[in-house]
Amino acid sequence: MPEQIYLDNAATTPLAPEVAEAMGPWLGDAFGNPSSMHATGRVARQAVDAARAQVAALLAADPGEIVFTGSGTEADNLALVGVAETFGPGDFHLVTSAIEHPAVLETCDYLQRRGVDVGYLPVGEDGIVDPAELSGLLRPNTRLVSVMAANNVVGTIQPIAELASVAHEHGALFHTDAVQAVGKLPLDVRAQSIDLLSLSAHKLNGPQGVGALYVRGGVGLEPLLHGGGQECGVRSGTENVAGLVGLGRAVELAGAGRGEENARLVALGERILAGLEARVPNAYLIGDRYRRLPGHLCLGFLGQEGEAIRLLLALDEMGIAASAGSACSASHAGEPSSVLVAMGFDAIRARGSLRITLGRFNTDADIDRLLEVLPEAVESLRPITSHPITA
């Protein structure tokens, strides 16, 4: 594996050693099927139940309200399609935001093709949805509102409690894609009136391919997967025991160290911004300066926005892993980011962001190195594009 300074923690995070240790036995001798009645199976069931309790504790939910899935994407699909199918498509209006992850936006497109009406909340230049705009979009048949807790491209934090309260006044359910937020933001599903919440283990130093959906007791869901009736019939399929043990340990670690770790990540992020201000005068921060995930920076380079991919490759060669927009759009590299377009950026500027996202294993030395090579990488892209400087 290439030795790189890894600054792309919003794409995925390295597995924490404590998580790997907890998973170890479940990749070896402890191989039981949690549905089996014998002792080997019962031990696996206990491990799955323990993981469920750990996830529930982080969200202040009941363990019975956690449905395990195979990814954050699946959790989002289950929330949206699962709720829509309990109503039937004919009389179902769903509201989401223009800056959702494709796991939500593509699911909305799918539902639209099946006869569901979808409304899109706009977003300000700061990358934040305004709850006052929601009332104007709600209709008598709005059954579900889905707005992410924190954005994966710009890192901005959305006012989910306020949005949930507007949705509830209207009798609609509220779902939040909290894949980027879990472990970083305080989440309390009761205090924030959340009916459904998606999360994913690999964003918080857990394993890839493991997710969960919180479903408030009493909320009905049609399953996406049919079969042996696991997860109370909502998500059939033999559980990924090792992965779930990893998820449980990861949420436990993230919850325990959150305050201190967030402060550390904010300080590292501030160091980057101060360093750029001094050394890269055309760099600017995209999205609200303060209402953002700790250690999540989305940067533009005035006059060089068309060169984002080259900048990324230059950094890659210099041993730094960062991202242009979101990793999920790798196959659309070079296309304008729909999130930046929704924030009012023109097509050229919307192509030109560099995302730096810090995580548990980043150190001051990583930031020193970034600040050493980034000015050089930006300089190497001159002469600048012919696009006029407009901001």
Q: Are 311 and 325 in contact (CB under 8 A)?
A: no
Least distance to ligand PLP, CB of residue 43, Å: 27
The angle, 0 to 180 degrees and rounded to 10, between the axes of the packed helices 364-380 and 241-279 is 60
- What are the residues binding ligand PLP (CB under 6 A)? 71-73, 76, 101, 103, 148, 152, 177, 179-180, 200, 211, 328
- By three-state DSSP, how is residue 294 classified? coil
> To the nearest whole angstrom, how small is the minimum distance from the Cβ of residue 148 to ligand PLP?
5
* DSSP-assigned states of every residue in 50-96: HHHHHHHHHHT--GGGEEEESSHHHHHHHHHHHHHHHH-GGG-EEEE
> Which residues are known to be catalytic?
328
Q: How many CA atoms lie within 13 A of 42 on its CB side?
A: 3
Q: How far is the CB of 32 from ligand PLP (least distance, A)?
A: 25
Q: Which helix (H) or strand (E) holds 146?
A: strand 142-146
- Residue 79 or 314: the one with the smaller Cβ distance to ligand PLP is 79
Residue closer to ligand PLP, measured from CB, 77 or 362: 77
The nearer residue to ligand PLP, 102 or 122, going by C-beta atoms, is 102
Q: How far is the CB of 384 from ligand PLP (least distance, A)?
A: 31
d(CA 56, CA 51): 9
| Shorter beta-carbon distance to ligand PLP: residue 209 or 334 | 209
Q: How far apart are CA 214 and CA 231, in angstroms?
A: 12
| Shortest Å distance, C-beta 73 to ligand PLP | 3
Give whichever of 280 and 343 is closer to ligand PLP, judged by the CB atom: 343
Per-state percent for the chain, helix, strand, coil, to nearest 5: 45, 15, 40
